[in-house]
């Protein structure tokens, strides 16, 4: 019975681990360890859902930072402390990744759109 309990605990421990996404880990490493959070960056994705997920994940792991998502007029906005805001719901102040990092999902990205993300936080 003791061995069974040991193995059951091992199985529970293995299943309880939440694996991280290697691409998200790489983005976080580059932003934080290589200093790109201060320098700014634009990350492109072919797929809107992926871009949205990365932006949402980053805002959860980088509290106080804005993360902009550019994907055309109807899908663009800024995450700030986990909250999604579109241009119609402005009101963020301070430095943020949103003014420096934008995620483009699929439909082409005008770099001038990144400048407007900065204006959203001013």
Specify if 44 maps to a domain.
yes
Specify if 9 maps to a domain.
no
Specify if 14 maps to a domain.
no
Specify if 74 maps to a domain.
yes
Specify if 56 maps to a domain.
yes
d(CA 108, CA 96): 23
Q: What is the pLDDT of residue 13?
A: 85
| Residue 3 neighbours by CB under 8 Å, 6+ apart | none
Q: What is the pLDDT of residue 56?
A: 92
Specify if 104 maps to a domain.
yes
Specify if 7 maps to a domain.
no
Q: What is the pLDDT of residues 44-86, one digit of tens each?
A: 888 899 999 999 999 989 989 999 998 887 889 999 988 999 8
Rounded mean pLDDT of 17-41?
88
Q: What is the pLDDT of residues 76-117, one digit of tens each?
A: 999 998 899 986 554 444 444 443 344 544 445 455 544 444
- Domain containing 50 equals 19-120
Structure tokens given for 54: 């990365």
* Global pTM value: 0.61
Q: What is the pLDDT of residue 82?
A: 87
DSSP code string of 28-66 = HHHHHTSSHHHH-EEEEES-HHHHHHHHHHHHHHSTT-E
> What total of structural domains would you count in the chain?
1
Specify if 3 maps to a domain.
no
Q: What is the pLDDT of residue 32?
A: 93
Q: What is the pLDDT of residue 24?
A: 92
d(CA 66, CA 94): 9
Q: What is the pLDDT of residue 105?
A: 46
């Amino acid at each position: 019975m003791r061995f069974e309990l040991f193995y059951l605990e091992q199985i529970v421990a293995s299943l309880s681990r939440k694996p991280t996404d290697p691409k998200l880990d790489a983005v976080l490493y580059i932003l934080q360890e290589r200093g790109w959070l201060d320098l700014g960056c634009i990350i492109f994705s072919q797929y809107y859902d992926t871009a949205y997920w990365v932006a949402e994940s980053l805002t959860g792991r980088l509290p106080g930072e804005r993360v902009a998502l550019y994907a055309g007029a109807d899908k663009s906005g800024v995450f700030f402390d986990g909250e999604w805001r579109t241009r119609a719901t402005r009101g963020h102040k301070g430095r943020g990744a949103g003014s420096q990092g934008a995620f483009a999902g699929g439909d082409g990205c005008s770099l001038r759109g990144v400048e407007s993300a900065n204006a959203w936080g001013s």
